[in-house]
Amino acid sequence: MAAWARAVRGMLLDVSGVLYDSGGDGGVPIAGSVEAVRRIKASGLKLRFCTNETQATREKFVKKLQGMGFDISMAEVTAPAPAACRILKERSLRPHLLVHNDLVAEFAEIDKANPNCVVIGDAAENFTYANLNEAFRVLIGMEKPVLISLGRGRYYKETDGLKLDVGAYMKALEYACDVQAEVVGKPAKTFFESALAEMGVPAQQAIMIGDDIVNDVGGAQRCGLRALQVRTGKYRPCDENHPDVKPDAYVNNLAEAVDIILQQL
Amino acid sequence: MAAWARAVRGMLLDVSGVLYDSGGDGGVPIAGSVEAVRRIKASGLKLRFCTNETQATREKFVKKLQGMGFDISMAEVTAPAPAACRILKERSLRPHLLVHNDLVAEFAEIDKANPNCVVIGDAAENFTYANLNEAFRVLIGMEKPVLISLGRGRYYKETDGLKLDVGAYMKALEYACDVQAEVVGKPAKTFFESALAEMGVPAQQAIMIGDDIVNDVGGAQRCGLRALQVRTGKYRPCDENHPDVKPDAYVNNLAEAVDIILQQL
């Protein structure tokens, strides 16, 4: 944490594992994170919430976080589903959706008749044997299967333990159909670029804070951002020996990250 | 189909997609295959049934096939579960099982307390979101995760359509835990070698007949066997353009394969 910290003008915050731990009960805020978001906003730094969560529409997602006390609005959130909708429209793709029930509304305006691609998100309880077989059959029936994945996370932490994320199911379909998914969301470069553009801050003056060594830290660094890994959420000590990715710094939690960054300004 | 066909002394037959099409109703024999098995036996050729099916104990599996009219006994079947049990015993591994209910009995004599590995088979309806998460948590909780997979098939054909096979779920766990599964069953070399030893025929004098271009044909060829692909079961025309594997011949079905081979003797 050195000279570059003084140049920071904008922050991208991962949400699950940084702001709160998700769970069947809606989840709980991580100690100090509500206040940390308030302090970022008071500092005048630009702020963008960058999430791969696809278990709810952004509207519901934001309401849940507001209910925990976070100062957050829908316009401040960059999420995979709207990005996927842009791609579907541009390429006249009609998706078969394998997503969480609460995400379906994000695709309300998309033609889904006679599907010519599969969109997979973190479908959670919807990842049934029958639903996965159905998505597989749609894909294998195409001459050139198109699979769009809302993220490629391996797993995430809920209050009752670790859960498989969309990336694991994406790999299952990729293997079964011998196809490579197009990933929308972190760590896709276009996703970070959208967030930076929405914030109006160049990569060199932005910092990403996340709990995922690959999708948050590695993804952001490949776009020219600095990136911190918090030791909350899905963080595991072995992340610090990752063969390919090294964060610009580790912090115990978001509150500590904000302390350090605001001290440099 | 040339000189080598005259040297054939033993045949390995894949079962699902070659002898019968499986399905919720137990499945149906493929036309001509009951008679074809009878003709192989009458010819004096050695015969071994080589299956990756793990939805039932060999006992139930054989009874089902006998019910369809096949001349088959348990002693003639090479299957992944007994091979896995040998490995578990040799290495003092205690499995967490993610398998079909009907396969559990094959592991009756194996200590399963305090698991130090995961064994995954074609669990079918047992591939629930909850069960996959549970297997994942067992693996991710190990210092060095050990995942043993009963096959690596992508999908298979049942009477009501294609279904994802164990390989797809294996890939999901491999990705989530950053681990490589040890595959027991086709296309593992040890599996074909066991079948050959049980039959008492060297690879150069044996022929494999299967519907799976990778697991049957490719696997057998890498062990020095000749291999035919039938155009039944999961066969798809695009298999004939496979970049890596080319069968020694294509046949429309098992009956045709037996016609050709017996003519050469």
Question: Tell me: the pLDDT tens digits for B65-93?
Answer: 999 999 999 999 999 999 999 899 999 99
Enumerate residues 176 to 235 of chain B having a beta carbon within 8 A of any beta carbon in chain A. 176-178
pLDDT tens for chain A, 265 residues long, are 567 788 899 999 999 999 999 877 788 999 999 999 999 999 999 999 999 988 888 899 999 999 999 999 999 999 999 999 989 999 999 999 999 999 999 999 999 999 999 999 999 999 999 999 999 999 999 999 999 999 999 998 887 889 999 999 999 999 999 999 999 999 999 999 989 999 999 999 999 999 999 999 999 999 999 999 999 999 999 999 999 999 999 999 999 999 999 998 7
Judge whether A224 lies within some domain.
yes
Judge whether B152 lies within some domain.
yes
Residue of chain A with shortest Cα separation from B168: A172
Mean pLDDT computed over B236-246: 95
Q: Are residues B178 and B91 in the same domain?
A: yes
pLDDT-based confidence at residue B157 (cuts at 50, 70, 90): confident
Judge whether A58 lies within some domain.
no
* Last residue in a domain, options B127, B162, B183: B183
Q: Are residues B99 and B30 in the same domain?
A: no
Q: Is pLDDT of B24 > 80?
A: no
Per-residue model confidence (pLDDT) at position A203: 97
Q: Are residues B101 and B175 in the same domain?
A: yes
Mean pLDDT computed over B151-164: 88
- Structurally, chain B folds into a number of domains equal to 2
Residue of chain A with shortest Cα separation from B130: A125
Burial of A6 (0-12, 13-18, 19+ CB in 10 A): exposed
Tens of pLDDT along B42-51? 999 999 999 9
| Domain membership of residue A104 as a residue range | 82-183
Q: Are residues A92 and A39 in the same domain?
A: no
3-state SS record for chain B: CCHHHHCCCEEEECCECCCEEECCCCCEECCCHHHHHHHHHHHCCEEEEECCCCCCCHHHHHHHHHHCCCCCCHHHEECHHHHHHHHHHHCCCCEEEECCHHHHHHHCCCCCCCCCEEEECCCHHHCCHHHHHHHHHHHHCCCCCCEEEECCCCEEEECCEEEECHHHHHHHHHHHHCCCCEEECCCCHHHHHHHHHHHCCCHHHEEEEECCHHHHHHHHHHCCCEEEEECCCCCCHHHHHCCCCCCCEEECCHHHHHHHHHHHC
Do A235 and A17 touch, CB atoms closer than 8 A?
yes
Higher-pLDDT residue of B26 and A221 is: A221
Q: Is pLDDT of B3 > 80?
A: no
Mean pLDDT computed over B135-160: 93
Q: Are residues B258 and B198 in the same domain?
A: yes
User: Which residues of chain A have a CB within 8 Å of the CB of B118?
Assistant: none
Per-residue model confidence (pLDDT) at position B2: 67
* Last residue in a domain, options A165, A183, A201: A183
B39 vs chain A: nearest CA distance in angstroms? 35
Judge whether A65 lies within some domain.
no
Q: Are residues A176 and A157 in the same domain?
A: yes
CA distance B117 to B115: 6
Judge whether B197 lies within some domain.
yes
User: Which residues of chain A have a CB within 8 Å of the CB of B154?
Assistant: 175-178
Q: Is pLDDT of B1 > 70?
A: no
Per-residue model confidence (pLDDT) at position B186: 94
A202 vs chain B: nearest CA distance in angstroms? 33
Contact B133 A165 (CB under 8 A): no
* Last residue in a domain, options B127, B150, B183: B183
Q: Are residues B167 and B206 in the same domain?
A: no
Residue B86: C-alpha distances to residues B80, B167, B188 (Å): 10, 21, 15
Give the ipTM: 0.83
Q: Is pLDDT of B23 > 90?
A: no
Closest among A174, A120, A192 to A151, alpha carbons compared: A120
CATH number of the domain to which B98 belongs: 3.40.50.1000
Q: Are residues B203 and B163 in the same domain?
A: no
Do A100 and A54 touch, CB atoms closer than 8 A?
yes
Do B211 and B220 touch, CB atoms closer than 8 A?
no
Q: Are residues B177 and B93 in the same domain?
A: yes
Average pLDDT, chain B: 94
For residue B187, whether the previous peptide bond is cis, meaning omega lies within 30 degrees of 0, is: yes
Residue B207: C-alpha distances to residues B152, B186, B195, B210, B257 (Å): 21, 14, 12, 10, 11
B186 vs chain A: nearest CA distance in angstroms? 16
Per-residue model confidence (pLDDT) at position B6: 86
Judge whether B169 lies within some domain.
yes
